[in-house]
Structure 1
Amino acid sequence: MNPLPAPVRAAGALGLLLVVAGAYAAALAGPFQFDDYNVIVDNPQVHGLAAWWRSMPGIRPLLKLSYALNWALSPGAFGFHLLNLAIHVANAWLVWALGRQWLTRLAPADLPTSAAWWMALLFALHPAATEAVTYASGRSMSLMALFYLAAMWCFLAGESSRRHWLSRGVGTVLFALALGVRETAATLPLALFLLAWFGGKSPRGALRGLAPQAVLLVAALAAAAFAGYDRFLSYSLGTRGPVEQALAQAEAHAHLFVHSLLALRTNLDPDLRVPAAPELRTALVFASFAAAGVLALLSRRRWPWLGFAIAWYGLQLAPGNSVLPRFDLANDRHLYLALPGVALALVVPLLARGWRPLGQVLLLALALVMAVLTHRRNADWGSELALWQATVRDSPHKARPWANLGWARHQAGDHAGARAAWECALRLDPGHEQAAINLALSSAASTNADPGCPPEN
């Protein structure tokens, strides 16, 4: 693609800034939520730069440094939300710039120059991104993505212009920063290899220039043994066995793809359960994995953009949704870095010659729907009460949302409603300790109010 004139770049960047600001306007007034208390508010290790320094070495040091800097400037939630929003805007700009690099290598030559901007717009407005932007502790995904996408752009721009100081110098430094935020950034060298391979290079040619990143990755793996990752891995591997993990991930991927990605529905605490044994649903999910892999390979010659989009999506979800067990089976924020690949798969066919006028209308309609849903979702994040009311609405048969709704009601002064919610949590899970403790400590009089709890199965 030809370079964009400066006025076009400025107008495009301003447009992305304005649409993100409009969709996420309510996020700035939101409070800390859920894990924010464990990770930030009640965590003395991020209460200032000196506290952060004393806590090192530790896992995700640069993520914690960002929290410590925020706390040092102001411990209120506003500053955390403002920085998260700025990171998301920067990521949208990076997706636009990186999209032009991808499309130059993978897409038909007659694709309009606006295609990369549409990719950035869909990425910026997808409701699944909300958890990585509005949730203060969701920053682990968005901040890692900032350095990851910047490193990828530097590598591609540097290699194409033979400025190795940019690709192998600056790009490698940015890769190191991404690893310091979140270890799942380790996929970057493979992402660069796949882009080159789907772009027509041989495997040997696709590896060219990746040596510095490979060396850094090996060094980071060695250093992880001294930063507490051994305890992290030990806890993770003890959560469930390999067969149980495979069944769990079938449920997780089905939820993320169908519910969060396609249906545009968000849920902080989805009600997902590990099947006791393989089911037809499990077989269909694994069959879809195999079919997607075959389609990606078969697309390399004719539709390389499609093959790379599939590979990118799977690669970005693999670190957190594959072999290593997680306590929560699925979270919307793990889709954050996968979204550019999804946008690529949508934009290219819709803007192809012959479809272009209709495709632009469909893309605009989709962007408007996403903007409305993201704006509404940010209203849910506006208070603890609103967030857990929305979560209970979407996961009425799960005890934890009811227990958290009880606490939110208690904080709001609705002690009778709090008791009703905790009773509901215990009805769904008699072993839920926190709900039992809260109910026992509650001094409110018992009530006959209907808690709204779903009927027992």
Structure 2
Amino acid sequence: MVGLALLLILAYGEVVHGVFVWDDTYVVEKNLFIRDAGNLPDLLGPAYFDRAETGHYTRSGEQSYRPVVTLSHFLDHALFGRDPGGYHAMSLFYHWGACLALAALLLALGLGRSATVAGTLLFALHPALSEAVIVVSYREDILAAAAICLALILHLRGRTGSATCAFLLGAFSKQSAVVFLPLVVAADWLRCREGASSATGAFGAARRKQGRAWVIYAIASALYSWIVLVLLVDPAVGPASYPGGSFASGIATSLRVLARYVSLIVAPIGLQVDPHFPPSSGLSDPWALASGAGLLLLVLAIARLLPPWPGRFLGLWFFIALAPVAGLYPLPNYIAERYLYLPMMGVCGVAGWGFGWLVRRSRGERGASSVPWLALALISAALVFVDRARSSIVQSEEAFFREMIRTNPLSVKGHEGLGSALFGQSRIDEAVRVWEQAVSLGPNSPIAHHNLGLAYLRQNRRVAALGVFNRALQLQPSFVESRYQRAVLMREEGDASGAETEQRRVLEINPNFIPAKFQLAYLLDRRGDTSNAIALYQEIVAVHPGYAKAWKNLGVLHLNKLNDPDAAAVYFRHYLELVPGDPQRAMIQRVVDGTASR
């Protein structure tokens, strides 16, 4: 255990000096939800998907129901505040825990110590899994896989109730854990075929006990599916489409994706955070046919060369665990390295079994040969080297997205992210160039157009900004950020009526978009509708007490429009607590002190 921890620190230790990257921005870095323990009850209800605090992203930062992962971020914030190093350290800790869970499972399956050590080492260090380790928001794959290992161990020990709880823990980390029941069925069936029926109770009462366990797992799976597909869903997420636009093209693409995964397992080179992988046109695609033939040969090899238990079970694990992301139903992202995390456990189990076989074969009259162990040490050293290089890309957002573009020059997301990193450093001209490339590469990306509009505004190119905001809204009329920015430009150009109409449209799309409420309240005040302006400001501070400008404007309106200095002082006091360094503090403080002295 300690040795494995030290090895992981050697491979991934640099991540503790990393920053939040990519999806971490809204899942963790800008997530107000995880900063308040009072929000914990909202993990269990529809409020999990509210957008009141962000306008665009859900409160949890997730688009599907994963409360266990979000709870882990609550814990991160309680321990480390907003320090990304602590979050990265926790992800590495969870990866270590998943490695230990796999080791325990391999021992429970009957693999010897040598096989378990080899399989666990390969899993711990394989670079294809590094994405889940180095990106905080992708720890969902780690948690789900660790829970599935625990659930299988408990099932093998006949503890059905505890196994069900472990399965649900994994499922509420990520949906890929639904493969637990198929894995259990495969395990029980193959154990029987190996001839271990007398030990495992494959017949009679023990067989009935297995059947009862399957029924319980099926009920738990159905209940989970009802919760995440019907009861607790993000209403803003629409259905995805198959790659290529049809089921046939989706299946053809999936065959190529599976072949790509196999190649990454065998030779983890050319790793890409945002892979360039065009979909197939249909089942006649020769690359899809070749991929399908290769996968069929792989299945036949598993059936031919491996014993039913545990070899074939571990071989089947790879295909069973990939089923949720195999294209049988459409997904927003049909290929990602992190999808390999759970399937790789089966692959590493097979590799461990093979290593154990080599160790046994290498034993001679003079004892065991050191050749297999030397080979394992060399492979581990090479994997550590690759992992250290991969970990370095999270040292800054700029480095992360430059690596994404290096490995995939056509990545729209890479250019969008690099532009954001440069924009955040006030390198506006560079951000404009990168975002213009993003628009060129992704002419149908509303986010790329919106970001470019923000950069144009910083360059005071208002006409150009309005043009790309309009284009973003043509592509996605419900894109509230671009509609909001267009309304602000209209107000600044003197079209108060048009701006008010646009802000009301924003709030029709998303009633909880606070910046639009603030702008609408300002516009209402300008045209003399003080009471409704005050009502909107009060709605803002009720939902978002940290919105300082709303407190200040409430104070100003009560002081100047309602002639109520006492109420104004209350609002100003809240404002000064949030913005103690306001240049007008002395004047505001006089209002507060004047009411206090009366």
Smaller-chain TM-score range? 0.7 to 0.9
* Matched residue, 2:82: 75
1:202-246: per-residue Cα shift (whole Å, max 9, x none)? Answer: 787465743432332232233334433485995235884312321
Classify 1:307/1:216 alpha carbon distance in 2 versus 1 (closer, same or farther; 3 Å): same
Letter in 1 for 2:100: W
* Matched residue, 1:188: 180
- Count of residues in Structure 1 that have an aligned counterpart in Structure 2: 418
* Matched residue, 1:113: 113
* Matched residue, 2:446: 433
**Contact kept? 1:141, 1:182, Cα under 8 Å:** yes
Letter in 1 for 2:288: T
* Matched residue, 2:109: 102
> Does residue 1:330 correspond to 2:318, yes or no?
no
**After the TM superposition, which residues 235-274 of structure 1 pair with which residues of structure 2 at under 5 Å, given as runs?**
235-236=239-240, 240-259=245-264, 262-274=267-279
Which stretch shifts more, 135-144 or 412-421? 412-421
Q: Distance in 1 between matches of 2:240 and 2:40?
A: 25
* Matched residue, 2:167: 175
Which stretch shifts more, 331-340 or 358-367? 358-367
* Matched residue, 1:291: 297
* Matched residue, 1:384: 397
Paired residue for 2:2, among 8, 14, 17? 14
> Does residue 1:408 correspond to 2:421, yes or no?
yes
* Matched residue, 1:86: 93
3-state SS, counterpart of residue 8 of structure 2: helix
Q: Distance in 1 between matches of 2:400 and 2:322?
A: 25
Specify the structure having the higher radius of gyration (Cα): 2
* Matched residue, 2:44: 56
> Does residue 1:27 correspond to 2:15, yes or no?
yes
**Contact kept? 1:20, 1:125, Cα under 8 Å:** yes
* Matched residue, 1:140: 140
* Matched residue, 1:276: 281
**What TM-score, normalized to structure 1?**
0.83
Q: CA deviation at 1:386?
A: 0.9
Classify 1:375/1:403 alpha carbon distance in 2 versus 1 (closer, same or farther; 3 Å): same
1:90-121: per-residue Cα shift (whole Å, max 9, x none)? Answer: 111111111112234xxxxxxx5222011111
3-state SS, counterpart of residue 351 of structure 1: helix
Q: CA deviation at 1:317?
A: 1.2
Which stretch shifts more, 180-189 or 352-361? 352-361
Calculate the aligned-residue CA RMSD, in Å: 2.8
**What TM-score, normalized to structure 2?**
0.64
3-state SS, counterpart of residue 236 of structure 1: coil
Q: Distance in 2 between matches of 1:211 and 1:32?
A: 42
**Contact kept? 2:114, 2:352, Cα under 8 Å:** no
Letter in 2 for 1:431: N
* Matched residue, 1:364: 377
Which stretch shifts more, 256-265 or 305-314? 256-265
Paired residue for 1:422, among 435, 443, 446? 435
Letter in 2 for 1:153: I
Classify 1:303/1:364 alpha carbon distance in 2 versus 1 (closer, same or farther; 3 Å): farther
Paired residue for 1:345, among 347, 350, 356? 350
Which stretch shifts more, 434-443 or 21-30? 434-443
**Contact kept? 1:52, 1:64, Cα under 8 Å:** no
* Matched residue, 1:210: 214
Q: Structure 1 regions of 5+ residues with no counterpart?
A: 1-12, 105-111, 160-166, 447-457
Letter in 2 for 1:123: F
Which stretch shifts more, 237-246 or 304-313? 237-246
* Matched residue, 1:221: 225
Q: Distance in 2 between matches of 1:303 and 1:217?
A: 26
**Contact kept? 2:138, 2:338, Cα under 8 Å:** yes
